[in-house]
Each structure stands twice: as C-alpha cells, then as structure tokens.
C-alpha cells in the first residue's frame, strides 16, 4: 500500500516538475519577446523614399537601397548600415505590417551575425549564423578582396562599381566549408566578339577559399 502511494506521489511530483519546466521555458521565450521592441514596417519612411523609387539615408547613417510594400505579400526593406558598407540588412514584414524576419548578409548571399524570425503572433526565433563558419571567417574573405585591390576596408570603398553594381560576390558552402569569391570585373575581355551590341569590357574571376586553411585557388 505504501509503495503504491509512494509511486502516486512521485508521479504527481514529476508531472508538476515537467509542468514547471515547460512554464519556465515559455516564460523565458516570452521574456525574450518582451525584451525587444518588435519592429513594424515604416510607412513614413516608405513615403520619404517616394514609395520605393528613391534611396534614402536615415538619421543613423544607414542607407535604404530598397523598400516596398504590398497589402497581399507584405513589405521588404533592404539597407546598408553606417560604416559597415560591406554588410546588407534584409527585412521582411507581414501584410499587417508586423515584423517577419531580419537577415544580415556579407555580399548578397552569405548570412552572418544573428538572423531573426517571427511568426504572426510575434514569437521570435534567433539563429547564430556565425556558428557555421570554420577557422576562416567572412572578414578574412574581405581582407583577401582588399589585397586584390577590389575594396578598401578603411574607407569602405569598392563595394559597388561605377555603375553602382556589386563589385564582388561571396557565397559560403557550409557542407564543404568553402567560400566562392567572385570579382565581377575581374579581367579585361580580350576575346573575339561575334554577338550583337557592345561586348563586355570585363569578365568575372572566381576563387575558392578553403574555410579551414585559407588556401585560395582560381576557379576556371
């Protein structure tokens, strides 16, 4: 009899403990959400950019290079932070204007730092993108581009060419732990041209950098 009563008491204790742990996790998640001011789509900013047709520099120095909103699909904002012009911040919003996600890129394709994702109720999930990199980090790739005289890390120059197109691209392969680095205007186009219109003045050059050793090889 005592054994049966003891088992019932133990089971009740375990259920209570599990319930408390679950509540603690939920409270922790709620505190994470409450500790942040969840951003909403900035319709005033949208108006200031002539509804997405003009770029704009915000008071904090960041440059809005793309902004759009649609009542069915929601909104997007793409901006370059001040003094960090080799990063791009990409944000999406739900049709009701609530925050959907925020991702930070080096170049246009490689996510870095912390990505934030929100469901329609405002519950947040964060992913540390920097965990996926090996010994060689994205900043090491930028140093390589500086050695190639494509960019200047001190002045933040070189991200775009004279036509305001990206001068380079970085794509990280997590499975292989390699970076594919493309210099858009890598070499003069000296080959024969038999097409229509003006030939390209330059051709891209691509390099593969080992994410552990930093060894670089040109990709044909």
Give the single-character DSSP code of 98: B
CATH architecture of 43-131: 2-Layer Sandwich (3.30)
SS3 label, residue 22: helix
Contacts made by residues 173-178, CB under 8 angstroms, sequence distance 24+: 174/132, 176/211, 177/134, 177/210, 177/211, 177/212, 178/208, 178/209, 178/210, 178/211
| 130 band by pLDDT with thresholds 50, 70 and 90 | very high
pLDDT digits over 200-220, tens only?
888 999 999 999 999 999 998
Residue whose C-alpha is closest to residue 86's, from 18, 13, 21, 138: 138
| 113 band by pLDDT with thresholds 50, 70 and 90 | very high
Q: What is the pLDDT of residue 118?
A: 97
SS3 label, residue 115: strand
Domain assignments of the chain as residue spans, ordered by start: 1-35, 43-131, 138-219
| 36 band by pLDDT with thresholds 50, 70 and 90 | low
Alpha-carbon Rg for the chain, nearest whole angstrom, is 25
What are the phi and psi torsion angles at 217 (to 5°)? -130, 140
| 145 band by pLDDT with thresholds 50, 70 and 90 | very high
Neighbours of 159 (CB within 10 A): 19
Q: What is the pLDDT of residue 34?
A: 55
Q: Average pLDDT in the 2-31 region?
A: 41
Beta-sheet strands, E only, within the chain: 56-57, 63-70, 74-80, 87-93, 99-106, 110-118, 124-128, 168-173, 178-188, 202-210, 216-219
- Global confidence as pTM: 0.79
Neighbours of 114 (CB within 10 A): 13
Q: Please state, in angstroms and rounded to a whole number, the distance separating the CA atoms of residues 87 and 161.
A: 16
Who wins on pLDDT, 163 or 119? 119
């Amino acid at each position: 009899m005592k054994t049966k009563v003891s088992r019932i008491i133990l089971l009740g204790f375990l259920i209570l403990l599990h319930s408390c742990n679950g509540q603690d996790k939920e409270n922790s998640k709620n505190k994470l959400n409450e500790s942040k001011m969840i951003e909403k789509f900035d319709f005033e900013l949208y108006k200031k950019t002539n509804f997405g047709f003009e770029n704009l520099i915000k008071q904090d120095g960041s440059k809005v290079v793309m902004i759009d909103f649609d009542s069915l699909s929601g909104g997007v904002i793409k901006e370059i932070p001040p003094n960090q012009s080799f990063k791009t911040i990409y944000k999406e919003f739900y049709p009701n204007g609530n925050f959907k996600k925020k991702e930070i890129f080096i170049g246009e394709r490689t996510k870095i730092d912390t990505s934030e994702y929100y469901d329609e109720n405002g519950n947040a999930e964060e992913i540390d993108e920097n965990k996926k990199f090996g010994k060689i980090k994205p900043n090491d790739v930028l140093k390589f581009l500086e050695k190639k005289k494509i960019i200047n890390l001190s002045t933040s120059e070189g991200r775009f060419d004279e036509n305001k197109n990206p001068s380079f691209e970085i794509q990280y392969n997590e499975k292989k732990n390699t970076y594919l680095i493309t210099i858009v205007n890598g070499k003069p186009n000296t080959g024969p041209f038999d097409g229509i219109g003006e030939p390209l003045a330059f051709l891209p050059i691509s390099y593969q950098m080992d994410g552990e050793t930093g060894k670089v090889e040109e990709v044909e």
